[in-house]
Amino acid sequence: MSGQVMDRAAVARFVEAWCTNWCNVDIDAVVSHFAEDAEMRSPLALKLTESPVVAGAENIRAYWQKAYGGIKSADLKILNWSWDDTIARLTVWWQLGDTRASEFMDFDGTGRVVRSEAFYGK
C-alpha cells in the first residue's frame, strides 16, 4: 500500500506512545488514536457491559474510564509487536502484572484505529 500513513517507523512510534499512554492511564490519549466509528472487542468488555463489542470512540472512552479510571499508573510492558503492511494490522503482545495479552489493531488510511481486539491469557 504505497503512500499509506502507517509505515513501520510510524507504527513503532505508535506502539511507544500507546504503551506510554497506558502506563500513565491517559485514556483520552489512548482514545485519540481511534476513529470516531471504531470498534473494540474484549472479553473484559463482555464482563463489564454484557457485550464483547464496544462501538464508537466515545463509548470506548466511557468503557475504559469504567474499567481503568480508578488506576493512576500501570506497569505495562510491550513484549513484542508485528506490523502487517498489506492489511494495515498491528499486533501487540503485552504484559501487565500476571496478565499477558495479544491485541490487534486495524488502521484506516489516516492512521487511526478502526478496529481492535484483545485476547488475554496467563
Task: Output the pLDDT for position 40.
Answer: 96
Instruction: Quickly tell me which residue has 470512540 as its cell.
Output: 57
What class, spelled out in words, does domain 8-121 have in CATH?
Answer: alpha beta
**For the segment 48-101, what is each residue's pLDDT rounded down to a tens digit?**
888 999 999 999 999 999 888 788 888 999 999 999 999 999 999 999 888 899
The pLDDT of 19-39, averaged and rounded, is 95
0.85 exceeded by pTM: yes
- Determine which helix (DSSP H) or strand (DSSP E) holds 20, and give its type and residue range: helix 8-23
Q: Which has the higher per-residue pLDDT, 9 or 49?
A: 9
For the chain, state the CA radius of gyration: 14
Domain boundaries, the chain: 8-121
C-alpha count within 13 angstroms, C-beta hemisphere, residue 56: 3
Q: In angstroms, rounded to a whole number, what is the distance separating the alpha carbons of residues 41 and 21?
A: 19
- Grid coordinates representing 68 are 481503568
pLDDT confidence tier of residue 22, bands split at 50, 70 and 90:
very high
The pLDDT of 5-17, averaged and rounded, is 93
Instruction: Quickly tell me which residue has 505495562 as its cell.
Output: 76
Please state, rounded to an integer, the average pLDDT across all residues of the chain: 91
Task: Output the pLDDT for position 47.
Answer: 85
Task: Output the pLDDT for position 2.
Answer: 41
Q: Is the pLDDT of residue 3 over 50?
A: no
Task: Output the pLDDT for position 1.
Answer: 38
